[in-house]
Chain A
Amino acid sequence: MSEPQSALLLRKQLAELNKNPVEGFSAGLIDDNDIYRWEVLIIGPPDTLYEGGFFKCHLYFPKEYPLKPPKMKFITEIWHPNIDKNGDVCISILHEPGDDKFGYEKASERWLPVHTVETILISVISMLADPNDESPANVDAAKEWREHYSEFKRKVARCVRKSQEEC
């Protein structure tokens, strides 16, 4: 039996990212025999609180990719309003279109089958720089970000330091 479309598409992206790496992250597989589970290292974006950090993340793709989005999890500890305390990333482009009448309400912010590892990572990196506090996954981090920014900064700085030690 030939490989499913999802595996071919992911293989293609992996080859492309190896050939032409994108600034801000590096990507590979957790296990070379499993194209559906990726390991990504995000470099804390410059001019943000996360600058200097190295954040290891996993991406878990479903067999139905690209019709369904992958799940993303930070393995390195991180303090951010849109990443829950288990490391799970909560970002609208990784959500399937909502249960609205025709399935396209606010489609622009939701998952689309044209998203790739690269576009997902670009969104996540931009989320690091610019948290969305309307739908926080880590309520405590969101509250701190709004109300006790100095404490928020301190916690992020601690994560950045820890991430450097782990690397």
Chain B
Amino acid sequence: MGNCLKRSTTDDISLLRGSDSVRESSSDQLGQPYQEPIPAEDVSPVYYPSPSVSRSVVQLTEEEQVKIAKRIGLIQNLPIGTYDGCKKERECVICMVEFLVGDTVRCLPCMHTYHMKCIDGWLMRSLTCPSCLEPVDAALLTSYETT
């Protein structure tokens, strides 16, 4: 693949249960699929099958779960790096905070770089680069269409 940045090694399931890039899950909601939705947002992670539709993990339809799992898989395949101070971008344009050496950053195919914690939340809603609007890995998405 030609990139030398390390990749996240967590598997998709653990991401669905919540990780630092998505909202933290405080209980094992996946094990209770028939439980009534709990109003308190903090109880289970919230997902966005489409940007204006938010659902807790227990409310997702099977189709939406697949869609989100694919999206998580795609995001995981984007390189993660550690800011070393020599990149062109000096500031994360999402949080408007300057990168500090050692910050965990994610680099999109268009080469725009953001804090991982800032961009991952956006990518879970919309798979576009907020700076140049390039669809993130359009080639991979096209291959999903056939499934």
Interface mask (A91-133 → B, CB under 8 Å = 1, otherwise 0): 0000011111011100110001110100000000000000000
A99 to B53, Cβ gap below 8 A? yes
- In the assembled complex, which residues on chain A have CB atoms less than 8 Å from the CB atom of B131? 114
Are A102 and B135 in contact (CB-based, < 8 A)? yes
A103 to B121, CA, bound (A): 14
Contacts of A114 in B (CB 8 A): 93-94, 130-131
Measured between beta carbons, the chain A residues less than 8 angstroms from B122 are 67, 113
Name the CB-closest residue of B to A67: B121
In the complex, whether A66 has a CB less than 8 A from a CB of chain B is: yes
Residues on B with C-beta less than 8 A from A98 are 50-52
Count A-side interface residues using an 8 Å CB cutoff: 21
Complex interface: chain A residues within 8 A of B25 (CB): none
Chain B interface bracket (under 10, 10 to 19, 20 to 34, 35 or more): 20 to 34
A12, B52: Cβ atoms under 8 Å? no
Docked-complex contact B125 and A67, CB < 8 angstroms: yes
Contact B93 A99 (CB under 8 A): no
Q: A113 to nearest B CB, angstroms?
A: 5
A5 within 8 A of B: yes
Contacting pair A103 B125 (CB below 8 A): yes
Chain A, residues 119-153, CB within 8 Å of chain B (1/0): the string is 00000000000000000000000000000000000
Please state if B121 and A9 are interface contacts (CB–CB under 8 Å). Answer: no
User: Which 9 A-B residue pairs are closest in the complex by CB-CB distance?
Assistant: A99-B50, A104-B128, A96-B51, A103-B126, A97-B126, A107-B128, A97-B51, A96-B52, A112-B130
- Can you list 18 pairs linking A and B with CB atoms under 8 Å apart? A8-B97, A66-B94, A66-B95, A96-B52, A96-B125, A97-B51, A97-B52, A98-B52, A99-B51, A99-B53, A102-B127, A102-B135, A103-B125, A104-B128, A108-B133, A113-B94, A114-B93, A114-B130
Interface positions of A (Cβ within 8 A of B): 5, 8-9, 12-13, 66-67, 96-100, 102-104, 107-108, 112-114, 116
